[in-house]
Amino acid sequence: MMIEDIAGYYKPLVVEVGEAMAGKDVRTVLERKLGVSRTLLSKLKLTEFGITINGVRAYTTAKVAARDLVAIRMEEETSDDIMPQEMPLRIVFEDEYLLIVNKPAGIVVHPTHGHYTGTLANGIVQHWQARGEKVRFRPVHRLDEDTSGLVAIAKNPYIHQQLSEQLQAGTIMKLYCAYVYGSPDPADGTVDAPIDRDPDEPHVRIVTPEGYPSVTHYKTALVFGEDAAAKVRLKLETGRTHQIRVHMKHIGCPLIGDQMYGPKTSGNQLWENTAGRQALHAETLGLTHPMTKQWMEWTADLPPEFVALEQVLNEA
């Protein structure tokens, strides 16, 4: 039996029921075979073709038989609240489920108060419109405005749910490159220090015993001058706001060019001017593709300003 595409819905996700699942209800089949969340199941129940057995609308309590085809279909959605805007995009990978983009510094990921246009979302919505795709903008994670590098965007609710679960489980690999003042001691290590908002400045994060668990692993790649600066590669175990910036400051090695967490008076102006912003780049991203179940990994080259910064640091 062919499971057909239906106008107004994304391509169906189909499970053929095996002998071991015969007699189970639809909810159990979809949870065990596709990992569909209860939230998504609740949404699917509200649409005519959201859940079907052999092409016929079904309830989640319906029992299945061996060789039944259970399908879910998600309604197509668009980000009507995001204005399409033409802009150059550095697309690293894209298929019908997932988009990986190399975000430049100076761009906010999603529109917020004061940033309704000029965001990554505006450009991606325009990109999809130009391709005739009806997709809602769903970033799996975000980067600070002045951090460059790789960002994953899901193209339907199921992919977003699956990747969000990978993110929560710590199975998405996010590796960063940073240039810092000083040289970490020890050269390789882990910063395990809880982070929360600064009560006096809510937009700033601080290390505090009352904070949320936060863990950053780091390795020193290069040391410049008499321990004046270092190139460090970092892996996040948790994903707190400003985590790398706060943790590097905590161990006495703030990021070069970091206006919020960097040194106030003792910074090197030449280095900061060369970097042009906080010296942090999301260099490598790895994840298991929710549909193919294959591990995929991408790397974004260092931006030109960091190549120039490293040359300057080599002369320190």
C-alpha distance from residue 279 to each of 10, 14, 112 (Å)? 40, 45, 24
**Two tokens, residue 236:** 């996040």
Nearest to 279 by CA among 301, 250, 257, 251: 257
Sign of CA dihedral 137, 141, 145, 151: negative
DSSP notation for 62-95? -B--TT-EEEE-PBP---TTS--------EEEE-
**Largest pairwise CA distance in the chain:** 72
Q: Are 152 and 141 in contact (CB under 8 A)?
A: yes
Active-site entry in 68, 144, 146, 258: 144
Q: How many Cβ atoms sit within 10 Å of the Cβ of residue 251?
A: 18
Nearest to 152 by CA among 61, 264, 239, 255: 239
Please say if 144 is a catalytic residue. yes
Which residues are designated catalytic? 144
